[in-house]
Amino acid sequence: MKRISLTQYLIEEQRQHSNISSELRLLIEVVARACKTISHSVGKGALGDVLGTAGSENVQGEVQKKLDVISNQILLEANEWGGHLAAMASEEMETIHPIPNRYPKGEYLLLFDPLDGSSNIDVNVSIGTIFSVLKAPDGTTTPKEEHFLQPGAKQVVAGYALYGPQTVLVLTTGNGVHSFTLDREMGAWVMTQRDMQIPADTKEFAINASNARHWYPPVKRYVDEMLAGTTGPRGKDFNMRWIASMVADVHRILNRGGIFMYPADAREPDKPGKLRLMYEANPMAMLVEQAGGVATNGEQRILDIQPEKLHQRVAVFLGSKNEVELVTGYHQ
């Protein structure tokens, strides 16, 4: 495969499909640059005094790590001044972040989970940044929360950066899923995988098994059948993988198949799940669908859900088509 830069890919994509305006290209490049900066902070670890908690809580009531706060700030500051955004929203902040009046406004809305998998920061396990881009409704002069409440099917870009042994940026603009590796010497994003595809069948599943006693019957049935192996109803052995960092789990699935599940359970019956629809489920669902996989909340396609609030939670089943369809069928 010919190695091309992120910029070259975006320019060629615009020539071919006319789907990336210069404003959108700038947005993607600025987010990618911010992810480089976050990668640098993550890589320093204890040497950069970025480990441990920040002594604060986010809007979800979760204790923030220092890197959560740093990453959030990096993304806000990088994207404020370029003139490509109308407003931003972050999983770490209660409400939207308008673009300061001293800067020009653009027509896009950016949502992000600045650092996914925070519980893994201090133990040097892969973490990442997830982002999603929507178009502000026509005629929006002062963006409000409700302008962000668009179904995931309306996303124009979705992607994530994974900070692991290599730093990678995985991206879709609606024409397949492509992966770029950060060349640390050059400081450049170089395309290393084109048109990633998730196999329809798999022998791997990812779920937090410590919650098994709280699962609802469809999930319990599905997992029990997999655990029964070759002698059970599925007639084959399955492996379980669980990194507790959605970015890392989804990256594995995009590379070799599998199913990732974070279901609702009986611990908090009033909550429809734990993962956030706008910052995690929607961008990951777009990537998974673009790679030939399926993403549901157990009942419907995630990208069809009409969001009602900025920090809405949702159950998530995503990955290899045949497995996601099977467990979704058990719910119905």
Annotated binding site: 91, 113, 115-119, 208, 274, 280
Q: How far apart are CA 204 and CA 227, in angstroms?
A: 11
The residue whose two tokens read 């940044």 is 129
Known binding positions for substrate: 116-119, 208, 274
- Residues at the binding site for Mg(2+) are 91, 113, 115-116, 280
